[in-house]
A = this chain, B = another copy of it.
Amino acid sequence: MGRFYQKLNNRWKSTGSLLCVGLDPYPEYLLIEKNPKLEYPYLDFSREMIDSTAQFACAFKFQFACFGGRGMEEDLEQAVSYARANYPDIPVILDSKRGDIGSTAAEYAEEAFMRYGVDALTVNPYLGGDCIEAFAGYSDCGVIILCRTSNPGSAELQELQCGDLMLYEHVAHLAANKWNKNNNISLVMGATHSEALTRVRAMVGDMPFLVPGIGAQGGNLEAVLKHGLDESGYGLMINVSRGIAEAGWNEEQDFDFLAVHDAAKYYSDVIKATRSEIL
């Protein structure tokens, strides 16, 4: 078991938290217009978010697009570095959904694991196993493969019936039985599809799931836990991004990081309480 899984398992067990805190600095949160002197708004925002939520997090997930869309890669580098230095027990995920042919995927693996230095990244499976391999070859790191995503249009391809299995089930099957040679693969399983959680949990044993879709996207937490927990009562990184960040946002005044802290505590607590009822 590589570094990512070790850290994740330790964190689950030491804190009891299954909350993955999503760090998505959309420009509208950053109040750049109100604070034109801020030299590093993306980094400063990320640091405050990290400090406000760390005690409730089993993992941090950075949304690459929010940085890459605005040329803020250096802020992302430093924010990851800040999280790792100050909270070394919390695994850091880069959500960049990379995927390309072998030699190119190797450059993306370099980007995630060497340049940004994250513990895990998200990967798109459409290109097949030779693409996954370039990432999974970093056996200390986690590779989190898109399986059943939470967005409204996701069924268009992912639920196509291909023989006995739907496409996302093929992905789960390949992930568990063919691609996971280094025991470092996880799956993205959207909270909005509890049927899929049941099917895939039955196929992949205790493989961890990154679960987006709680909060802003309206996924049902009880169903996620009921259908997604592994046999030991863990196995889930339940991601909340906007549900936490938007608690701090308001039009009138500075971003309210105390409200962010409270929102992270709320989600962590409600996940814990719901989990206790189920177990």
Contacts and interface: CB of A to CB of B under 8 A. Distances in A.
B151 A171 contact: no
A152 B101 CA distance: 9
Interface stretch (A35-43, A162-170, A196-204, A255-263): A162-170
A222 interface: no
Contact of A104 (B65, B129, B153): B65
B157 A68 contact: no
A35 B181 CA distance: 40
Contacts of A194: none
B171 A157 contact: yes
Interface stretch (A10-18, A49-57, A82-90, A106-114): A106-114
A69 interface: yes
Contacts of A153: 127-131, 133
Given A101-B150, A126-B146, A162-B162, A107 B157 contact: no
A241 to B, nearest CB: 10
A34 interface: no
Nearest to A67: B107
Number of copies: 2
> Could you say which of A71, A101, A108, A160 has the most chain B C-beta atoms within 10 Å of its C-beta?
A101
A7 B210 CA distance: 42
A119 interface: no
Given A71-B73, A162-B161, A127 B149 contact: yes
A108 B65 contact: yes
Contacts of A65: 98, 100, 104-105, 107-108, 111
A190 B163 CA distance: 25
A71 B78 CA distance: 13
A70 B115 contact: yes
A127 B110 contact: no
A103 B29 CA distance: 14
Given A65-B108, A111-B65, A128 B158 contact: yes
A102 interface: yes
Interface string A137-156: 00000000010011111111
> Could you say which of A70, A97, A146 has the most chain B C-beta atoms within 10 Å of its C-beta?
A97
B167 A151 contact: no
A174 interface: yes
A66 interface: yes
11 contacts: A69-B111, A101-B150, A125-B157, A126-B157, A127-B146, A128-B154, A130-B152, A157-B170, A160-B162, A160-B167, A167-B167
Given A63-B107, A65-B98, A131-B151, 9 more contacts: A24-B104, A69-B108, A97-B99, A101-B150, A129-B153, A130-B152, A156-B174, A161-B163, A162-B162
